[in-house]
Structure 1
Amino acid sequence: MALTAVPQHLVAVPYPGRGHINPMLAVCRLLAAADGELTVTVVVTEEWQALLASAGVAATLPAGRVRLATIPNVIPSEHGRGADPAGFFDAVHGKMGEAVEQLLDRMVLKRRPDAILADTYLTWGVAAGARRGIPVCSLWTMAATFFWALYHLDVWPPVDDRESEQELSCKSLEQHVPGCSSVRLSDIKIFRSWELPMKLTTMAFVNVRKAQCVLFTTFYELEPCAIDRITQAVPFPVYPVGPSISGMPLDGDAGNIHDKEHRAWLDAQPENSVLYVSFGSVVSMRPSQLEEIAMALRDSVVRFFWVARDSASAAGLRQIAGGNGLVVPWCDQLNVLCHRSVGGFLSHCGWNSVLEAVFAGVPLLALPAVWDQVVDACVVADEWRIGVNLSEQTRGVVGKDAIRAAAVKLMDPDDGESQEMRRRSAQLREACRGAVQAGGSSRRSLNGFVKDLAAGRLNCQ
């Protein structure tokens, strides 16, 4: 049954990267399910439309309810963006905003959208809506804990270059921003060395204060302290509607693995015996680090299922790691994590991967590379206590011996610490699935957002 008197039309504008587009689409599916008459137009580049079509994603969207609209390819190709990050950031900040505004103007001529749902990192998103009298809701696709830290960029302490990396790693942001014990001053030093990303992030967090609300892809039970602090501090409503996971059935249950080879191999393994290994879709792990991981897996004799995106390196990694696992170029990650044989996840700790691990109830070995991953790894290990942060002792390449020891310990069913991590992972899994069920915290939050939108409570002031 529809929750709105007049059907609402929402324009969703994700940041042009897989880690942002996938959760945006997941949120749009949830919104369409919450209101049977609401329609959503998701704005992507022509290249991203083709990528989503080839992956079969477009076919999974609610027909006639969530549709894609395109802008020209005004940003660098997804296939080569890693070669020039600065050029990519600049293009998103400048050229993409212009293209989206032109599309909005064409839409307004037919019917003014009732709201825009824009990724928080789109520095021009709030202003684009304000100029047209359209309320803008911000979508944050990372941990609420990281949002809270960035919301207080203005009180981050200066980094004393006279202090060593080890000294800075022993100090947290907590003394300056309560609730940020998982953000270390050594992290801040690294963040500040990335001048352009920090400049654009600062702009984004100035602009987010002018949004009508913020939706989070987390769920309340996962980050209650961060959500509570944000709710009390910001001048707008907050809606945690997660876990917003690509491909997650709306009833919270996992699906089947469609690839026959993957399913057959996993079905043949004992319960909780396989370490799933994957490092995301964008940031590339250093070849030297991949070699250390491969040697660690070989020496550990732990069964593994490794997703290596680069087919050229996959053969070499397979040769180094030995025959105790499967190396593949791609898989249906959520369903693989939910398979009974998977008992651990060696991950870069991107937020979407973390949410999928929580949904599956699988503990993590964290090997973060950049940005929010560093904070996520600390939260996983220190706050939730469902994993081990392998990068805690070094910012460089983590050696094979440390990885081997951690993998053996995590996958040992008789190890006391491993058992405790599995117990806590199972608790979060149940909280995660409960949040999206009828009456759950995320379902209530989602319904609240739809009602507030329809009632005009999110309109521009």
Structure 2
Amino acid sequence: MNLCKVLVSKSDKILITFEVTEEWLSFIGTDEKCGNVRLRSIPNFVPSEQVRASDMVGFLEAVWTKMEAPFEKLLNELELPPTLIIADTHLFWANEQVDYIPGVSSTRLLDLPDFNGGIYPLILKQILGCVSSVRKADYLLFPSIYELESRTIDALKAELSLFIYAVGPCIPYLNLIPCDRAYCLQWLDRQPCNSALYVSMGSFLSVSSAQMEEITAGLRGSGVRFLLVAREGISDGCGDKGLVVPWCDQLRVLCHGSIGGFWSHCGWNSVREGVFAGTPFLTFPLLADQNLNSKLIVEDWKIGWRMKQHGSVTTRDHISDLAKTLMDSESDDEVQRMRRRARELREKCLKATGRHGSSETNISSFLDNILQCNPIAF
């Protein structure tokens, strides 16, 4: 507080919002006059100051896991967006932005891949070795399209002295692949246009049983139609508006006319397929690059919302509220803008992967280069 007073004494153009818990506001009192320093409170998410010494572990866990959501809510309620955040170093989520990675927009450290604990340091070591060996290659095929990640691709071209081709998702030939109209597609055929939420956590990782219980309860409680891919059995069923399957042809499902949203763990394959299908996202990243992919969807492309955790799980009430808002046929302006941007990205994908598009041109250029160097390669 003394630091704040010193700062505002330097200029009458400085306005400081000092955030405290409701309990601390009751200690400090609201009648203290600090000029351009104003007090704002957030709910008491941490153990009471009266007993904090007996539960320091619980206090720190609450600060690390429960404070971010009410803090962001307070920021959104301010009359003007802040130009600077001053925070204790324990609040690692508050103001750690990385803006010096070539080709990557300003990103929170929290959203960068986390490889701490268990086997992950070994995985990180292997990944760094793989990335370092890229310089030994002659060509780099980038699994995206130029129109989606031009900054990153341009940065790679400037950094690496090798041929780089953004070949994109090679999926414009979907209709050429035979389809036996699986049961889930037959179910989608019976649903209204843009009415169903597709939910998938990917084919590799799993969420806890407690989290899956919250997910299914939240989806049922939302009242929206949904198609859930879950490898584990769902004991409580899915109500009269949902369908649970152990596997599906994801791209074909996403491109179905009745799909109106995609709840995704944000694996890169799923992100590309969702963008190609033109669906808005509810992001639910689990680890590795998925947080960064979620940030790309939510902050850079602005075609989705991130599901928030409350403690160790995302609650059924939060799931229900977001699902209803996203899938509401008369949704608010923000959702409509999000859907419009998703359609615009789909058009970019279709153009890039279509005839004379950037992806097709890059593939042709790659083949021409290979054949010029070694005519019998194919």
1:208 to 134, 138, 146: 134
- 1:233 deviation in Å? 1.4
TM-score norm. by structure 2 comes to 0.70
Partner of 1:405: 321
Q: 1:384 to 1:228 in 2, by over 3 A?
A: same
Instruction: Say which SS state the counterpart of residue 277 (structure 1) adopts.
Output: strand
CA distance in 1, matches of 2:112, 2:359: 31
Matching residue within 216, 221, 224 for 2:147: 221
| Residue matched to 2:352 | 435
Query: Could you tell me which amino acid in structure 2 is paired with residue 412 of structure 1?
Result: D
Return closer, same or farther for 1:329/1:189 CA change in 2, 3 Å cut-off: closer
Deviations 1:395-417 (A, max 9, x none): 83211122111111110122211
Residue 220 (structure 1) shift: 0.6
Q: Deviations over 1:389-443 (max 9, x none)?
A: 114x668321112211111111012221111111111111111111111110000
Contact 1:305 1:327 in 2 (8 A): yes
In the TM superposition, 1:294-313 aligns within 5 A as 294-310=216-232, 313=233
Aligned to 2:192: 270
What is the distance in 2 between the residues matched to 1:360 and 1:395?
33
1:398 is paired with a residue whose SS is coil
Distance 2:373 2:164 in 1: 16
Change (3 A) 1:261 1:328: same
Q: Partner of 1:284 in structure 2? A: 206
1:374 is matched with 291
Give CA deviations for 1:188-218 in whole Å, capped at 9, x if unaligned: 5833443111111111122112211210110
* Distance of 2:175 and 2:199 partners within structure 1: 22
Structure 2 distance, partners of 1:317, 1:238, is 49
Residue type at the aligned position of 2:211? Q
Using a 3 Å threshold, how does the CA distance of structure 1 residues 394 and 195 change in structure 2: closer, same or farther? farther
Q: Distance in 1 between matches of 2:356 and 2:224?
A: 41
State the distance in 1 between where 2:261 and 2:169 align. 20
Residue type of the partner of 2:216? A
Could you say which residue in structure 2 is the equivalent of 1:422? Answer: 339
Distance 2:360 2:294 in 1: 27
One of 451, 454, 460 as aligned partner of 2:368: 451
CA contact (8 A) 1:347 1:365 kept: yes
Given that 1:344 and 1:363 are in contact with CA atoms closer than 8 Å, whether structure 2 keeps it comes out as yes
Matches within 5 A, 1:45-194: 163-164=89-90, 166-168=91-93, 170-174=95-99, 176-181=100-105, 183-188=107-112, 190-193=114-117, 194=120
Kindly indicate whether the alpha-carbon contact (under 8 Å) linking 1:239 and 1:445 is maintained by their aligned counterparts in 2.
Answer: yes
Structure 2 stretches lacking a partner, 5+ long: 1-87
Gapped runs of 5+ residues in structure 1?
1-161
Distance 2:282 2:255 in 1: 17
Q: Distance between the aligned counterparts of 2:343 and 2:115, measured in 1?
A: 33
For residues 196 and 272 of structure 2, what CA distance do their matches in structure 1 show?
19
Aligned partner of 1:345 in structure 2 is: 262
Contact 1:182 1:378 in 2 (8 A): no
SS in 2 for 1:190: coil
* Aligned residue number for residue 242 of structure 1: 168
Residue 182 of structure 1 contacts residue 379 of structure 1 at CA under 8 Å; is this kept in 2?
no
Match of 2:183 among 248, 261, 266: 261
Q: State the aligned residue count.
A: 285
AA partner of residue 211 (structure 1): A
Equivalent pair of 1:172/1:180 in contact (CA under 8 Å)? no
TM-score between both structures, scaled by the size of structure 1? 0.58
Residues 178/214 of structure 1: CA separation in 2 closer, same or farther (3 Å cut):
closer
- Tell me, in whole angstroms, the C-alpha distance in 2 between the residues paired with 1:309 and 1:189: 25
Q: 1:182–1:382: 8 Å Cα contact kept in structure 2?
A: no
Pair 1:442–1:419, CA change in 2 (3 A): same
Aligned counterparts of 1:170 and 1:273: Cα–Cα separation in 2: 38
- CA distance 1:286–1:412, change in 2 (3 Å): same
CA change 1:449–1:440 in 2 (3 A) is same
Q: Structure 1 residues 454 and 187 mapped into 2: Cα distance closer, same or farther (>3 Å)?
A: same
Mapped partners of 1:414, 1:178: distance in 2: 40
Cα shift readout 1:156-214 (whole Å, capped 9, x = no counterpart): xxxxxx833x434532221x324433642124583344311111111112211221121
Aligned partners of 2:155, 2:172: CA distance in 1, in Å? 30
Structure-2 residue corresponding to 1:330: 247
* Partner in structure 1 of residue 124 of structure 2: 198
- Give the distance between the partners of 2:101 and 2:148, measured in 1 at CA: 20
CA distance change for structure 1 residues 325 and 346 in 2, over 3 Å: closer, same or farther? same
Deviation string, structure 1 residues 72-107 (Cα, Å, up to 9, x no partner):
xxxxxxxxxxxxxxxxxxxxxxxxxxxxxxxxxxxx
